[in-house]
Structures are given as structure tokens and as C-alpha cells.
Amino acid sequence: MAIELGSKLEGKVTGITNFGAFVLLPGNVTGLVHISEIADTYVKDINDHLKVNDEVTVKVINVDKDGKIGLSIRQAKEPQPGQAAPGPKRDFNRGGDRPPRPDRPQGGGGDRPRGGNRGGGRQQGGGGGRLNFEDKVARFIKESEDRLSALKRHESKRGGRGGRRS
């Protein structure tokens, strides 16, 4: 039986880890339900929600090229009357679709240096391509060192950590 994206299947929990649960699907295929896809509420301990050999209904939400199957229990549930259907979670840390925060002024704040591209988006200076991992790490290290040196300068003015004592 071919596992199709979006299909709802019955399965049996075969193993539980701290990051999710493995579910045996029809056709002797195993998939993983990530801890974030177990319930609509925060799941601290999977054992509070699932046990080995539990029969569960899951929805196939991902099938990788290498055969890994991502499953969801919370998306397989029928929505309650008056409740929106559970959809895929939006990861605002990955893209530029972060909603504006009304409690924060636009443009940042605090003692952080202004300017630059802190979001890891596009390069400045004409390249226009996505930053690779090494560039992101180099940027992070530089920004961290800048913040650390600013903090040390600020502490020396205040007399914190190792300052003169009378």
C-alpha cells in the first residue's frame, strides 16, 4: 500500500521517544508523530498522551525522498463545532511572514546596533542570494562579539564585575 500525502490512516504506537512516537502503519511501514503533532495543547511528556500499543488515527503530513514519513495525530482529528480545523503550524522563525507586534516599536529597540540584516534574509551589497550556513555563522559570531564588547564597555562605566571596591 502506497502512503499518500494527506491520507488518514489507522496505526499502532510501537515506540515512544522524548521527541515523538513511532507508529506502525498498514503495509508494515513506520512513521513518526513529532511531539508538536500529538495534541492541540503543549505536550511536555508524550507518555501523558500515548502508550505503546495504542491504536491511533494519523494523517500523513510529510513523505521524504528517503522514505521517512511524518505523521500528525492532531491534524487527523475532526474539528469540534465552532473550532477552526487544525492546520500546519506556521514557523515564524523561518521566513518573512512574521506578524507585526503591536507592543513593540517597529525598527527594534534597546542597545542593539542599528542597521544590518539581523534576520538572516538576503545579503546586502548587491549579491541578492540566500546566505549559506557559513555566512550565517560568521555573521552571528561578529554580532555576538560586537554585543559582548558593547556590554563590557557599559559595565566598565558602571563599575560592575571586578570594578574597584572600597
Q: Give the pLDDT band (50/70/90) at residue 107.
A: low
Instruction: Reply yes or no on whether the pLDDT at 16 is more than 70.
Output: yes
Considering its fold, how many domains does the chain have in total?
Answer: 1
pLDDT digits (tens, 9 = 90+) for 140-165: 999 999 998 888 887 766 665 555 55
What would the mean pLDDT of 20-44 be, rounded to a whole number? Answer: 92
Asked if residues 136 and 120 have their Cβ atoms less than 8 Å apart, the reply is yes
12-33: string of b/e by CB count within 10 Å (b at 16+)? ebeebeeebbbbebeeeeebbb
> What is the structure's pLDDT at 82?
58
Is 40 a domain residue?
yes
> What is the structure's pLDDT at 125?
46
Is 124 a domain residue?
no
Give the domain CATH number at 14. 2.40.50.140
Is 55 a domain residue?
yes
* Residue 37 CB neighbours (<10 A): 25
Return mean pLDDT, the chain.
77
> What is the structure's pLDDT at 144?
92
Instruction: Reply yes or no on whether the pLDDT at 126 is more than 50.
Output: no
> What is the structure's pLDDT at 3?
81
Instruction: Reply yes or no on whether the pLDDT at 85 is more than 60.
Output: no
Is 45 a domain residue?
yes
Q: Give the pLDDT band (50/70/90) at residue 4.
A: confident
Is 20 a domain residue?
yes
Sign of the C-alpha dihedral computed for residues 32, 16, 24 and 52 taken in this order: negative
Could you tell me the residue range of the domain that residue 20 belongs to? 7-77
What would the mean pLDDT of 70-76 be, rounded to a whole number? Answer: 92
Is 39 a domain residue?
yes
What would the mean pLDDT of 75-100 be, rounded to a whole number? Answer: 60
